[in-house]
Amino acid sequence: MITHGTLQIYMTNLVAPYYEHVGFQEMASDAQLTIYSRSDAMGWACKLLIPDCINNSKAKYAQLMNDPDNSRYASISIFLLSIHPFRNTNAD
């Protein structure tokens, strides 16, 4: 029988290498396919509560909140904070 925990472990094992391959940090030299792949990987990684994704997203969000006029922090990773509610998680 597949349980929620079993499915989350399975999905995390699939997504973690993908997320690690494309990375979290965006670079100006990234190809368009890399940008799309990173967005996809980050979406899944944050939904699955992979700590690196959660922590990096929180850090980027904090940077934006400290200086909301600085658009260089307003990237796709900030959008991911709205995808998954971080309350009641142990990712801190």
Tens-place pLDDT, residues 1-18: 557 788 889 999 999 999
Which residue in this structure is represented by tokens 């690690």? 20
Count of domains forming the chain: 1
Domain assignment of residue 21, yes or no: yes
Per the structure, the complete domain to which residue 15 belongs is given by 4-82
Domain assignment of residue 43, yes or no: yes
pTM attached to this predicted model: 0.70
Domain assignment of residue 92, yes or no: no
Q: Per-residue confidence at 87, pLDDT binned at 50, 70, 90?
A: very low
Tens-place pLDDT, residues 10-64: 999 999 999 999 998 888 898 989 988 998 998 899 889 899 998 988 888 787 7
Domain assignment of residue 91, yes or no: no
Q: Which of 31, 29, 22 is nearest to 77 (CA)?
A: 22
Determine the Cα–Cα distance for residues 51 and 3; give it in Å rounded to an integer: 21
